[in-house]
Copies of this chain bind each other. A is one copy, B any other.
Amino acid sequence: MRTTRNVTKPKTASSGAESAAGTEREFATNGGNDISLGCLEGLLGYSLRRAQLAVFQDFLHCMKDFDLRPAQFSVLAIIGANPGLKQSRVSEALGINRANFVALLDELEQRKLARRAAAPGDRRSNALYLTPKGEVFLKEAYQHLIAQHERRLEEALGSTNKQLLLEQLGKLAALS
């Protein structure tokens, strides 16, 4: 609670509040608006994370009308490109825990975008397919992503070769 810490605070409050504001300004290393990133500056992980968040944010904004999150899109994309794949294979390909994949797929199935079918030769498995509606949906979502989202990213990169960037990211992803 705030109250807990406030017990010790008023000691500074009653006496030297204004004077402290004057004197300590010289000592306080940062009273201004310039914030240094310190050692974060050169760390790839930090830049990577901030970039990923910004890109996902843009993705979400772009897919607002489709009500589609990145993970959902990735599932549709994999199923669309590899119809009949077993459930575990899809989750594995995306690095998604197969336990977590269940609810993800459940929602896509409820929205009639994907379906679980009996896998030939293995009654444990589900073979995954897009529904006709799902195929259309994926195609339209992808088109919109390319036209809006991806185009915006390429614009931001400017003259940078996007393909080169993808290769660099691929090298990093290969670490895991």
Contacts and interface: CB of A to CB of B under 8 A. Distances in A.
Interface of A: 5, 9-10, 12-13, 17-18, 20-25, 27-31, 35-40, 42-59, 70, 74, 77-78, 80-85, 89, 93, 95, 116, 118, 120-121, 123, 127, 138, 142, 145, 149-150, 152-153, 156-158, 160, 162, 165-166, 168-176
Contacts of A47: 165-166, 169-170, 173
Given A35-B78, A36-B81, 4 more contacts: A10-B123, A44-B55, A50-B95, A51-B170
B70 A24 contact: no
29 contacts: A9-B118, A12-B118, A13-B118, A13-B123, A20-B118, A20-B121, A21-B121, A24-B121, A27-B84, A28-B83, A29-B82, A29-B83, A29-B84, A30-B83, A37-B78, A37-B93, A38-B78, A38-B82, A39-B80, A39-B138, A40-B77, A42-B150, A44-B169, A45-B149, A46-B70, A50-B95, A51-B169, A53-B176, A165-B168
A80 B162 CA distance: 35
A175 B173 CA distance: 22
B175 A30 contact: no
Contacts of A13: 118, 123
Nearest to A59: B45
Contact of A57 (B152, B153, B169, B176): B176
Contacts of A121: 17-18, 20-21, 24
B44 A82 contact: no
